[in-house]
Structure 1
Amino acid sequence: MIGAGVFGHLSDSFLGRKGALQVTCFLNAVFGLLTALSPSYWAYAALRLLSGFSNGAVGICSFVLATEPIGPSRRGAAGMSTYYFYSGGIAALAAVAAMFQSSWRLLYVATSLPSLFFALAVVPFFSESPRWYLVHRRPDDAMRVLRAIAATNGRHVPDDVALKLDDEDDEDTGDDNAIKKVEVQTSSSSGTILDAFVSRATRARLVLSVLIYFLCSVVYYGLSLNVVNLKTDLYVSVAVNSVAEMPSYLITTLLLRHYGRKPLAIGTMLLSGVFCTVASLIAGMGAMRMVRMACGVVGIFGISGTYNLLTVYITELFPTVVRNAVLGCVSQASQIGAILAPMVVVLGERVPFAVFGVAATIGGLLVFNLPETMNKPLYDTMAGLERGERESRTEDDGAAEKFEI
């Protein structure tokens, strides 16, 4: 929870997306390997605290780095596709944990080495986000990345195209051969979570995002941990839950381009809420227990789609200068939900499902208050977002006036 906020801010400021990801992955591996050498309980607890601090921002940094260069029409599909690896990792973890049941120390070594390999052998070959370069007033670096992306895709950025910051004076030389400049709305190098809260354009979005992500997290982590109440094999149940998430990513990705972020977020949360509520009403043993497990699988199918879709959605709701800071903030809310989830799970076999059903339903209803972002531009600054909001309202008012006439 602490690490998500700290590294979320550092990722928006001087570390950048790539730098923050490399640091967090490296620290995560080091603290994990040191945990395997813990000489006492308190050393173990301290190292787990440090591991959580470093691990808190790995997901948000990698997600933003992967999606910021993507255009509006493909951003949702690209963002959702990253989560196949998340669920695949959980399924792999169940298999690895089953192999090392006799030694928790070896389990920590086995689960820490991939992060070290990733930090040292993979991340150095990444490109920094061109949007991060832009808001830090480095348009030449941003264009270099864009040209490299174009070359990889077999395309070419014309030599007479350059990037222009919106606070630069626009000099009209009258030369038809002058360099074409693409205006980039950027006036500040970085922002904080306070900027997102102070701005009228993002304050309500921030509060709603935190509440929705918190409720979603309670349900997501709660259903994942609730396998202990199903009285089935722990390793098999974890693997089944992780595999159940994957179809939700595929279906959500396919529907995302046609129905938008908002309707899908509402639908998937309400789907999970309905089936969790049904599961809470099912009593008995034997076959009825399997029915309850099936309802739980559908519940995690729906909430996992929401959990990952919200990351795409929130990424598009906020400008580049505060994007990672906001994601860090909502990730903190998510971790609070993860902390509370085990306390709900121990309430019995049916009560947790009732709590998850109510939480998912409330979360789905709160999404109604967020704006749609499908095929909308990804803004870089607060000023750009506010201007875009004003233009959008003007267009809506004009359309309404024409309709009335």
Structure 2
Amino acid sequence: MSTFYFFSCGIALLSFVAFIFPSWRSLYIASSIPSILFLVVILPFVSESPRWFLIRGKADKALKIMKNIAKTNGKLLPDGVSLALDEDAGENQNNELAEGQGKEVEAISGSLIDVVRSRLTRVRLFLSVAINFLCSVVYYGLSLNVVNLGTNLYLNVFLNAVAEMPAFLLTAVLLDRFGRKPLAIGTLWFSGFFCVVGSLVGGYGKWKVVRMVCGILGIFGMAGTYNLLFIYTVELFPTVVRNAALGCAAQAAQMGAILTPFVVVLGGGLPFAVFGICGVMGGLLAFCLPETLNRPLYDTMGGMEEGENAFRDDA
């Protein structure tokens, strides 16, 4: 979740870069340099996910990464440690699954079709897609709507970026204390409330500043939502289909970002009204999602269904 600080720092820095390079061509070139640096400096040192290797039947590679992680943390994995998928853990001693001795096991695959087939994940996918879409409309909409506020464009973009940072901090601190679901609902409604207020105040004189503050507080709440949604969405689906589900949610967010310019061009208080409605609706949909705090991260569809059934029986 801490990576989002760099996202906001990039937006804040972008306001200065745009001020120095007002031409879109020069701005495009200047903003492309960090991407090149990422490819050369960062990407070669990013490791694959051990869970991804495990569900692909490459237990030896998964265990190798785990040993590297332990070594980096000053720990040591003892010899004989084995890795197993959650639904196969009980059979681990019988079939010698993933003993880390170069032995390949059968890969378990999953797709978006598997997510849709299961009622449990199908409902979660629909809600995640809808919430990510609504969240994106508000988040990117408030960022683009600075052109309608009548204030300094560069300063407003900078203030919006700065407002996101404490939201990320609060989300990270409160996430494990209050849970994913209450925090998602709270941040969505917080943002929606100030967007509604922004739609009711005028856009002239001193009211321009009030509307600007409403926009800053609105993006403060939605930035917190945007941050925790990545964690929340990941925890809602098992490893075997997590990429597909997260990809759908991310695609929905991009669709929301694409539609926001059509909302912004409405001008006046209408964009704030649309953003407010989206925030309130997103909070209502979040009520239908399950809480994932202190719940296990499942590897397979079968393991998830068994675990959820056992949880309901215990409840």
Which one-letter code corresponds to 1:129 in the other structure? S
Q: Secondary structure at the match of 2:48?
A: coil
| Count of aligned pairs between the two proteins | 309
Structure 2: unaligned runs, 5 residues or longer:
none
Structure 1 equivalent of residue 169 of structure 2: 250
Of 192-201 and 236-245, more deviation after overlay is shown by 192-201
Q: 1:365 aligns with which of 281, 284, 305?
A: 284
| Among 67, 72, 75, the residue aligned to 1:155 | 75
Q: Which runs of 5+ in 1 are unaligned?
A: 1-79, 397-405
Residues 74-93 of structure 1: per-residue CA shift (max 9 Å, x gap): xxxxxx21111111111111
Distance in structure 1 (CA, Å) of the matches to 2:92 and 2:230: 36
The one-letter amino acid of 1:89's match is G
For residues 364 and 170 of structure 1, do their structure 2 counterparts lie closer, same or farther at Cα, with a shift above 3 Å needed?
Answer: closer
**In the alignment, is residue 112 of structure 1 matched against residue 32 of structure 2?**
yes
Give the Å deviation of 1:292: 1.2
**What whole-Å deviation, never above 9, does each CA across 1:71-115 have from its counterpart, x for those lacking one?**
xxxxxxxxx2111111111111111121111x4333222222221
Map of 1:140-179 to 2, 5 A cutoff? 140-165=60-85, 170-171=92-93
Decide whether aligned partners of structure 1 residues 171 and 289 sit closer, same or farther in structure 2, where only a CA change above 3 A counts. closer
Q: Which amino acid aligns with 1:97?
A: A
2:221 aligned residue: 302
Deviation (angstroms), 1:120: 2.4
List aligned pairs for 1:60-79, cutoff 5 A: none
- Cα displacement (A) at 1:225: 0.6
- Secondary structure of the residue aligned to 2:84 is strand
Contact 2:144 2:261 in 1 (8 A): yes
Structure 1 residues 285, 104: closer, same or farther in 2, change over 3 A? closer
Paired AA for residue 196 in structure 1? V
CA distance in 1, matches of 2:191, 2:58: 44
Question: Cα deviation per residue 1:17-59 (whole Å; 9 max; x = unaligned)?
Answer: xxxxxxxxxxxxxxxxxxxxxxxxxxxxxxxxxxxxxxxxxxx
3-state secondary structure, aligned to 1:163: coil
CA RMSD across the alignment: 2.2
Q: What TM-score comes out, normalization by structure 2 length?
A: 0.92
Instruction: For residue 160 of structure 1, report the CA deviation from its aligned partner.
Output: 2.5
> Would you say the 8 A contact 1:201–1:385 is kept in 2?
no
Q: Sort the Cα spacing of 1:153 and 1:292 in 2 relative to 1 into closer, same or farther, 3 A.
A: same
Return the offset for 1:332: 1.5
- Structure 1 letter corresponding to 2:15: A
What percentage of aligned pairs have identical amino acids? 57
Distance of aligned partners of 1:170 and 1:260 in 2 relative to their CA distance in 1, 3 Å threshold: closer
Alignment partners' CA distance in 2, 1:236 and 1:201: 46
Aligned partner letter, 1:82:
T
- 1:213-236 Cα deviation digits (max 9, x unpaired): 111111111111110011112111
1:81 matched to 2:5? The reply is: no
